[in-house]
Structures are given as structure tokens and as C-alpha cells.
Structure 1
């Protein structure tokens, strides 16, 4: 039993080490970084990488799924807060903090959209976020023209501060405070222009491979002149 358990422990240890090093490698060099380099960083042979992950897509999928699991772990604290406004605060703070510390996530999201466009486990959070927004607005603490997508975009914006690396970690809550102050309901709030984007459209856009070109106005002349 001991001899069988030890290889299993070693395999689990190697698996976790590969995931840790993959996060660091992909954050530094993108999701197309050589897997041989991943093996070197993890201190294992190249064959070990492929025993745990059949190919790059399998590794990326697992990183994506562990990210979704992280969000599930954060949900009880956020949704169980004593007030709707506190849920809003925790949502922005916890998710932005997670993204800042996980700069590989946007690239993994974009690649998953290419690997499997129909795979959208993150969309399951849409109703929970909408409910959080409705609760805070019913309290009168969140401005009434803010949507769930607005909050998700703000998380992405704050999370992008991770591009500055660890040197900015002591400072990013300055931007968080400014954002939260702008979200509070006040009689003199400047109205937000236009209607917000639908959540499913935002989900697909945020997982897109890259920016989509803006639509151009058709020329009135067939020649384009």
C-alpha cells in the first residue's frame, strides 16, 4: 500500500507543480510558450508533461477550469455579505485582486474561446451578479443605471493593473476606492449614457481571441468612392 501510495503522491505533486509553473510561464510568455520550458521549470522531463496533459489545449482547459473553481470559492463570501453594497465592494475587490495576481487568465480565456467556443461555465455567474446588483439598487446604495456588465468591465479594468507586476500591488486599491466612490448612488450622479451591453454578449467578447474591428459605414456608391 505504501509503495502504491507514494507514486500517486508523486504524481499529484508533479501535477500541481506543473500547474503552478504553467501559470507563471504563460503570464510571462503567453499561452504558446514552449512546453519543454514548462518541464524544465517544474523540474520534470518532457514526457511527464504529456502524461499529465495530453496536449497544450488540455493544460489550458484545466487552467481555465481551476479559475472557474476559484470564482466558486469566492462566491459565498461575496453573495453572503450583510448588505448589497458590501457584496458590490467584495465583488470588485476579490475578483480584481484575483486577476491582478493571475495575469495569465485573460490569455487562457481567449484561447479557450478558440478551443471550445461552446464551453461557457463562467456564464453561470450572470444571474448571481444581476441579483447582487438588484439587491444593492433596492437598498438605494448602488446607482440605478449600473448593470452587471458594468461591474464585470470594472473588474477587468482593475484586474489589468496586474500588467505592472508586483511593484504595483501596494497601490491598486487607490483605483478600487475611486471606482467604488463612482458607483455609489447620489442625487448628483452624472447619468451613464446609453444602454448597457447584454451579459452573454459581454461574456463572448471578453473571451474573444482579440479585438473585433469596428463596423464601417457602407459607402453610398457601389464603387466605394
Structure 2
């Protein structure tokens, strides 16, 4: 193996290690955690961190884009399920587990909305989710007044159990079962009040939720 190939391999390994440790660090201490600590946890020098991520925002953007890529990975199983109802089950189960196990995500989403307000790759999932909903409703298994945004909000609600830490993760499927029972079509269902939110509005709302982290202070303090 040539020295250049070995260097590229080491660089890729360091990059992946930094991303993995950043997820843990940001989940524990928030996205303003010192990047010097990230270097310590990843067992690399501070210079290595800044070569891969010149600014904190560069790291946040990659974590965000990695999350979008992971959503794409879920799609074949969810959309290819044997029934529409099974697609609904898988959508809630897979995505809520992903959010619950990634408590850094809300802060990353908020920061991305500040960094690049026009960057909205998540909206590409609106049409597939609506197709999923329509399919289940056509089967008569999903209540007819539920929208794709309703399911997305439920993912956020179920995923919020991640705030309790890993100790609660073995138990969150209790809430998932309650939610799924409430989504099933049946004659005595209570009509949902009001009109459902649109996907664009939901995207903007979900990226602005929760307390904002202050961006005050010297610019260099955020590196």
C-alpha cells in the first residue's frame, strides 16, 4: 500500500471517528461543547479536528446531511412493506427509534435553520409519506383524517423519550403501541379537530423548536 493510500485511509477513519464522537458529545453537552474535547474523545489532535471541520457549523452541517442520508436508508423497507398499515408501523417505529437514540438532532436542526434557512432537503420526503398514508387509508386500515404531517409529529413525540437518556429506551414501545392503536381506522373514532399542518410549515416549525442556543460572543469561541 502506498503512503498516499494509507494517508487517505487514516483520514477517512479519523473523519468517521470524529463524527461518531461528535454525536455522543453533542448529545451529552449540547452543540456548543468545546471542540477540543471532541479531539480528546476521538484521540486525535486539535489540528485534525479543524482540518476535517474548519468551523463548528461545518461539523453541524455534516451531521445534518448524515441524518438526511440515514432517512434515505430507511425508505426501501418502509415504502416496500407488504401493506400500507405495515408501512405506517415501520415509519413510526424506525424513525422514532432513530430520533430517540439521537438526542443531538433537535439542536442540529435548529442550527442548520440558522446557518442556511433555504436548505430544506427533508421536504423531499413529503410526497412519499403522503403516498404511504393514502395507501393505508385506501386499505381501510388507517383512519381517514390522518395526514403525513400528523405521522411526522408523532415521530417527534415518540422520539422525544430520548431526553430521558438511554435508560428509557427499552420502554418507549409502550407509547408506540398506544399511538398505533389510536391511528387504526374504526367506526367509533373521534374526529380530529381543525385542519392538518402542511409539510413546509411543519419543516420550518420542527427546525425552530425548543430553546435556542445563544450565538453571542466572539466568533472564535464557536470554533
TM-score by length of 1: 0.92
Cα separation, 2, equivalents of 1:104 and 1:210? 12
Which runs of no fewer than 5 residues in structure 2 stay unpaired? 213-223
4+ residue runs over 6 A deviation: none
Alignment deviations for residues 100-135 of structure 1 (CA, whole Å, 9 cap, x no partner): 111111110110000000000011000000110011
> How big is the shift at 1:2?
2.4
> How big is the shift at 1:210?
4.2
Per the alignment, residue 79 of structure 1 pairs with: 79
Alignment deviations for residues 20-69 of structure 1 (CA, whole Å, 9 cap, x no partner): 01000111111111111111111111110010011111100000000000
Per the alignment, residue 193 of structure 2 pairs with: 193
Cα separation, 1, equivalents of 2:98 and 2:210? 22
Query: Aligned in 2, Cα 1:142/1:30: closer, same or farther, shift over 3 Å?
Result: same
Per the alignment, residue 223 of structure 1 pairs with: none
Alignment root-mean-square deviation, CA: 1.2
Per the alignment, residue 90 of structure 2 pairs with: 90
Per the alignment, residue 7 of structure 2 pairs with: 7
Cα separation, 1, equivalents of 2:116 and 2:94? 27
Is the 1:63–1:108 contact (alpha carbons within 8 Å) kept by the matching residues of 2? Answer: yes
Is the 1:114–1:209 contact (alpha carbons within 8 Å) kept by the matching residues of 2? Answer: no
Per the alignment, residue 127 of structure 1 pairs with: 127
Per the alignment, residue 49 of structure 1 pairs with: 49
Cα separation, 1, equivalents of 2:201 and 2:19? 30
* Matched position secondary structure for 1:169: helix
Is the 1:111–1:209 contact (alpha carbons within 8 Å) kept by the matching residues of 2? Answer: no
Matches within 5 A, 1:124-203: 124-203=124-203
Larger gyration radius, structure 1 or structure 2: 1
Per the alignment, residue 216 of structure 2 pairs with: none
Is the 1:98–1:159 contact (alpha carbons within 8 Å) kept by the matching residues of 2? Answer: yes
Cα separation, 2, equivalents of 1:209 and 1:181? 27
Cα separation, 2, equivalents of 1:34 and 1:187? 55
Alignment deviations for residues 74-114 of structure 1 (CA, whole Å, 9 cap, x no partner): 00000000110000000000000111111111110110000
Per the alignment, residue 216 of structure 1 pairs with: none
Is the 2:145–2:191 contact (alpha carbons within 8 Å) kept by the matching residues of 1? Answer: yes
The structure showing larger relative contact order (alpha-carbon pairs under 8 Å, at least 6 residues apart) is 2
Is the 2:106–2:209 contact (alpha carbons within 8 Å) kept by the matching residues of 1? Answer: no
* Matched position secondary structure for 1:118: coil
The answer as to 2:102 corresponding to 1:99 is: no
